[in-house]
Structure 1
Amino acid sequence: MAGSTTAERGARQQESSGPPPARRVRPPRLRTIIILAVALVLFGAGGVWALYGSSWLRVERVSVSGTRVLTPAQVREAADVPVGAPLVSVDTDAIEARLKRELPRIDTVEVGRSWPHGIGLKVTERIPVLMVRKGGNFIEVDRKGVRFATVSDAPKGVPALELALSPSSSAAASLRRFGEGRLVREAVRVAGAVPATVARDTRTLKVRSYDDISLELADGRTVDWGSAEKGGAKARTLLALMKASPDARHFDVGVPTAPASSGS
């Protein structure tokens, strides 16, 4: 009988000896752990020093964008950004609050860091939609009804708001119920709903009560608008009425489903 082959003897030997022992994983030495810990501490300390102690990341310039009436110099002065301070330490919320407090013309402002040396101030100014005459000056009123600035020259293309609150019972009741601020906001709503072609010719928006708001146009024509409700319907009705009665001097769209015009 022939003996076993070399391959068979090798296979039997491998089966008898079993699988090779697993390699033991040595835990990291204490020295290695200490070196890594020191490296992390040094790295962190270096980062803190770079942010707060070095001259690499400090405020060197303040950029301003978005101004229309205000100048960049006015915005920078009111912002009072601490030039030379570490950029990371600048309180952007405080700068935003300071700008809104010092410059009421600013509606919104975004204060952001521009690494490595800048602070950016992106300003959105309030836009007047009405103005209130006060002596020889004019108070500008924005789309939210905020009276934000007093100017000596009337802004072009902005209607004058006249609060003609007579002592009549209806006007007094409106004033007691809504207050002057609410009546101003209702006037702003009307100004926003007036058709563009009519708005360009509107010189005065008169408020007698909550339900009695009227327009006076540049050529002397007048429009009874009523309340600020249903502004879209009233705008469409007014355009149709003016087209149908081009020679009329007075238009009434207080009830848009029953408009009227008169005069010639």
Structure 2
Amino acid sequence: MAGTTTAERGESRRESSGPPPAGRFRPPRLRTIIISVAGLLLATGAALWLLYGSHWLRVERVSVSGTRVLTPAEVREAAGVPLGDPLVSVDTGAIAERLGRELPRIRTVDVERSWPDGIGLKVTERTPVLVVRKGAEFVEVDDEGVRYATVPRAPKGVPVLRLEPARSGPAAASVRRFGEDRLVREAVRVARRIPKPVARVTGEVAVRSYDDIALELTDGRTVTWGSGELGEDKARVLTALMKAAPDARHFDVSVPTAPASSAS
């Protein structure tokens, strides 16, 4: 069998030295790589200068929203936002911690960057469910049992907590076992479950022990509530009982399956 001719071998060499098949990776030229890297470095440098070195993206204003008792000025002062600093470098977490420490009335706060030059503080204040007498003043207590502010007058519609811990008998043992703070938390637990129509006319929540809590209404009626357990059931039964016995002066829902009312 005859071998390949000289012409055929030459043609084969030309084909093998031709351009690579379509789809095969072509490495970029060194010049292209250098230009790309230089462009990336310039863009990064410009971005860093804009964020940290320029005067365009610096803190110039602090806005406050959500306040009810506090004033925006009080919140701004306690926040201590560093005016003039680059906006990107402001430690929002530290601002939130500082506000919680300096202003216990604040329950939560969202600290947000407002580009190009602002910081926004969205405040949620605590709401009292009870107040505790402290001399001539009152300490507000929220629904988590946190005592967070002292005020000269009790807020309208907020019951006064009257602690009357028993000194002897089983009730006294309850007080020693749970402590005063636990009694306050139990009173808060009760206050959260009082039906709204009743809560509006509740003047005091009297606590003798963990399971001996009573409501004293502003019109002279009283409610024996018991402990904070089964609060939803007690609220529902109390509402029905007051409708069924509108002239009653005392209601007992300490055992919601066996409620009672009386004229005295």
Normalised by the length of structure 1, the TM-score is 0.89
Q: Which residue of 1 aligns with 2:56?
A: 56
TM-superposition CA deviations, 1:217-244 (whole Å, max 9, x none):
0111111000111111111211222222
Q: Distance in 2 between matches of 1:170 and 1:106?
A: 39
TM-superposition CA deviations, 1:23-71 (whole Å, max 9, x none):
2475322222222111111111111111111111110110100000000
Q: Which residue of 1 aligns with 2:171?
A: 171
Q: Distance in 2 between matches of 1:27 and 1:156?
A: 78
Q: Which residue of 2 aligns with 1:195?
A: 195
Q: Distance in 1 between matches of 2:86 and 2:173?
A: 58
TM-superposition CA deviations, 1:193-216 (whole Å, max 9, x none):
111111111000011001000000
Q: Which residue of 1 aligns with 2:7?
A: none
Q: Which residue of 1 aligns with 2:262?
A: 262
CA contact (8 A) 1:170 1:209 kept: no
Secondary structure in 2 aligned to 1:43? helix
Secondary structure in 1 aligned to 2:148? strand
Q: Which residue of 2 aligns with 1:23?
A: 19
Q: State whether structure 2 residue 244 is matched by structure 1 residue 248.
A: no
Matched residue type, 1:234 = K
Q: Which residue of 2 aligns with 1:74?
A: 74
Q: Which residue of 2 aligns with 1:180?
A: 180
Normalised by the length of structure 2, the TM-score is 0.89
**Stretches (4+) displaced over 6 A:** none
Q: Distance in 2 between matches of 1:223 and 1:130?
A: 17
Q: Which residue of 2 aligns with 1:5?
A: none
User: For structure 1, which segment, 84-93 or 159-168, has the greater mean C-alpha deviation from structure 2 after superposition?
Assistant: 159-168
Q: Which residue of 2 aligns with 1:108?
A: 108
RMSD value, Cα? 1.7
Q: Which runs of 5+ in 1 are unaligned?
A: 1-16
Q: Which runs of 5+ in 2 are unaligned?
A: 1-10
Matched residue type, 1:260 = A
Matched residue type, 2:218 = A
Matched residue type, 1:91 = D
Secondary structure in 1 aligned to 2:40? helix
Secondary structure in 1 aligned to 2:34? helix
Residues 256 and 38 of structure 1: CA distance in aligned 2, closer, same or farther (over 3 Å): same
Paired-residue identity, % = 70
Q: Distance in 1 between matches of 2:27 and 2:235?
A: 82
Q: State whether structure 2 residue 97 is matched by structure 1 residue 93.
A: no
Secondary structure in 1 aligned to 2:184? helix
Q: State whether structure 2 residue 156 is matched by structure 1 residue 160.
A: no
Q: Distance in 1 between matches of 2:208 and 2:66?
A: 37
Give the number of equivalent residue pairs.
Answer: 248
